[in-house]
A and B are shown apart, each in its own frame.
Chain A
């Protein structure tokens, strides 16, 4: 006797109650605060803001806490919230050349106007686990100096003065910047949509693709022209008052890759650009993004499109980790109806196979 299984509703409620308890963990251990996450897991917050496309440290910290530290789940939470927000307009383009630089390095010149500034970085640390951190410790005060008023022009602008690098594409001021969260992406995609897609793209996916281009799958000879991290002002042009009002400052990381280009029949040889930009301090992300951005320009620059990193549809259709994780994980949903039709077909095909081969299907049953 069989009674159809019911009770899905209660099962869901109980599962979510259990999840809430697991999220909190042992009650003897103090609960983490959003300020702790934002201050002490700052790079996780930066990543969630970047790929979640929403600059809000507090909400990103909340998302990380709610997601139990699963960053893709946190990005998803932030995105779903962002989708409901009203749009008032777009800010004026930010000028990264006027950034309050906290870190800025170039691997193409030994010294540059404004200097090389290491800033807070893991680079050159020895990756030895620090037992002091396990116990909790107060760090030494950082070394300070007078604020320099020397300008820090972008390295690519220095190269640009001699025409050694292609000019940075100028946006058409009259044309609105594309937004793939408001219009479905279509191919071929313009630069604005490509950059938006990559900025929202999964860090791991871009890292692997960028790496593959270095290993010869769409090689484009990159140099890290400049990586800079710091604060920029975001301004909004208010129609009512007739001028741009400051909205506040945001932290950005920008990477400009300088890549080889042999020139063509009509173009003199010059360096080309790959561009990466992300919220907060996100160097791995922006470097990977810049490598992939340049690789995706293959068609535009008349290079042969052979490798995955150069394939626009492949990269832009699969870069979004919220989409990817949803579709991969949807395999957890019941599929017994489709599976049943496959089962029926397979049984029929096997039956015909055994008949044709003079074997009895009973043999299969006996096994």
Chain B
């Protein structure tokens, strides 16, 4: 029987070379979706295979990797991907945003501002911002080539006419470097301003759809809007119940079946950091305790 033997960070060097070329092209044309020969990974499509291939390709032995999903470093898929790289690349892993050189993320941008030299790798399900307006790839590629984004503006305008607001709350479209309209992956629009003029390199990998795109450091990223309806990031108006932060994206935690709920930071590393510094919220626990088993 053929017994498998795997390279550093799983992918073979030929594949990494092919992906590096796609990444370089993506950096050279900010916001443009570069087709690449996505490989079948040992985790399912839709579970971060694009991000995993980008991470596998850029990872070196001295990198420190963090993987977060939904802002948390302890969600099952983030753990699974972190373990995958710990096993196949033997790199140091962390749950700290500041310490990581490579951060693979799903649906969030860390609250702590990223610094130069860091790479943020996004997992992308549907890379095409125009997909739900036009299902055909032949058409959407043509629209990007001609910078023909009228359809997107009409969609946003129709939202305003109907609801009084733009009714897109996540995966909110942006324009990169004043040229390409780009899907920021399904991050809440709260995170959009963090992409603009960011010191870190932002790479986006869509495995199933076979596309890579990038926002180089210090590149303009503008959320689409209208002069009389400017972009506004949504945030539930409350401080974090654990660390008291008033400027972070919050998760709603249902605490009972009688309408009880609380709001806590979605970025667990940021929240824990603040608690360690002595910040407290209304529901702060003193020492950590296991919940009683029912």
Contacts and interface: CB of A to CB of B under 8 A. Distances in A.
Contacts of A2: 241-242, 253, 255, 262, 264, 283, 285
Given A3-B291, A333-B69, 9 more contacts: A4-B264, A84-B12, A322-B44, A337-B266, A340-B251, A340-B266, A341-B188, A341-B189, A344-B169
B164 A352 contact: yes
A241 interface: no
Nearest to B265: A4
Contacts of B49: 326
B74 A6 contact: yes
B40 A83 contact: yes
A192 interface: no
B188 A333 contact: no
A240 interface: no
Interface residues of A, number: 58
Contact of B285 (A1, A186, A313): A1
Contacts of B58: none
A181 B207 CA distance: 12
Interface residues of B, number: 75
B33 to A, nearest CB: 11
Given A313-B138, A337-B108, A4 B252 contact: no
A184 B210 contact: yes
B165 A79 contact: no
B125 A340 contact: no
Contacts of A303: none
B293 to A, nearest CB: 13
A327 B188 contact: no
A341 B253 contact: no
Nearest 10 A/B pairs, CB to CB: A326-B45, A330-B46, A326-B44, A341-B169, A327-B46, A184-B210, A83-B40, A184-B35, A326-B46, A341-B188
Contacts of A327: 45-46, 125, 208
B40 A80 contact: yes
B223 interface: no
Of residues B76, B108, B211, which shows the largest number of chain A Cβ atoms within 10 Å of its Cβ? Answer: B76
Given A83-B41, A326-B208, A341-B169, A11 B70 contact: no
B32 to A, nearest CB: 14
Interface string A179-223: 001111111100000000000000000000000000000000000
Contacts of A85: 2
A58 B1 CA distance: 7
Given A326-B208, A327-B208, A334 B4 contact: no
A92 interface: no
A345 to B, nearest CB: 4
Contacts of B62: none
A349 B44 contact: no
A330 B10 CA distance: 22
Contacts of A313: 135-138
B226 to A, nearest CB: 18
A72 to B, nearest CB: 10
Nearest to B38: A184
B284 to A, nearest CB: 8
B234 interface: yes
Contacts, number: 168
Given A11-B76, A79-B40, A333-B77, A341 B190 contact: yes
Nearest to B69: A334
A328 B125 CA distance: 11
Contact of B35 (A62, A186, A326): A186
Contacts of B290: 3
A8 interface: yes
B136 A337 contact: no
B218 interface: no
Contact of B70 (A9, A325, A335): A335
A278 interface: no
Interface of A: 1-9, 11-12, 56, 58-59, 62, 76, 79-86, 181-188, 313, 317, 322-323, 325-330, 333-338, 340-345, 348-349, 352, 365
B132 interface: no
B85 to A, nearest CB: 14
Contact of A8 (B6, B75, B186, B187): B75
Given A58-B1, A344-B169, A337 B41 contact: no
A365 B75 CA distance: 32
Nearest to A82: B40
B8 interface: no
B288 A3 contact: yes
Contacts of B157: none
B79 A337 contact: no
A181 B70 contact: no
Contacts of B69: 333-334
A184 B286 CA distance: 53
Interface string B70-110: 11001111111001000000000000000000000011100
B39 interface: yes
Contacts of B163: 349, 352
A319 to B, nearest CB: 13
A326 B47 contact: yes
B278 interface: no
A139 B226 CA distance: 77
A66 to B, nearest CB: 12
B289 A344 contact: no
Contact of B40 (A181, A325, A335, A345): A181
Nearest to B262: A2
B71 to A, nearest CB: 6
Interface in B20-71: 35-42, 44-47, 49, 69-71
Of A9, A333, A337, A344, most B-chain CB atoms within 10 Å: A337
B255 A184 contact: no
